[in-house]
Amino acid sequence: MLPTFAYIGTNELLIVGAIVLVLFGGSKLPQLAKGLGEGIREFKKSVGGDSDGDNTPPPATTVHPTTTETAPSAK
């Protein structure tokens, strides 16, 4: 059994987009998209799936071994 959204096609999405454009206007849409993006970002942070790259591990440090010269043994 398919979910209801499986039957939504391109024409339906265009109609819904046109209705949203008429209701909110062209100048309000960027503000709505920004608010939606911030809301999704906050939700991901609260769930623990922060994908902004804030929790990347620090870069690995390279350790260069030092060699000491030994004096030749006297025989």
Alpha-carbon distance of 44 to 52, in angstroms, equals 10
Q: Determine the pLDDT at residue 71.
A: 67
0.85 surpassed by pTM: no
What is the per-residue pLDDT across 10-28, written as a single tens digit (0 to 9) for each?
Answer: 999 899 989 988 888 888 8
Specify the pLDDT at position 74: 65
Question: Which residues of the chain carry a pLDDT beneath 50?
Answer: none
Q: In the prediction, which pLDDT does 8 show? A: 81
| pLDDT of 75 | 61
pLDDT at position 56: 61
Look up tokens 């030994």; give the residue. Answer: 70
Kindly give, in sequence order, each residue whose CB lies less than 8 Å from that of residue 46, ignoring residues fewer than 6 positions away. none
Q: Rounded to whole angstroms, what are the CA distances from 34 to 9, 31, 40, 45, 54?
A: 26, 5, 10, 17, 20
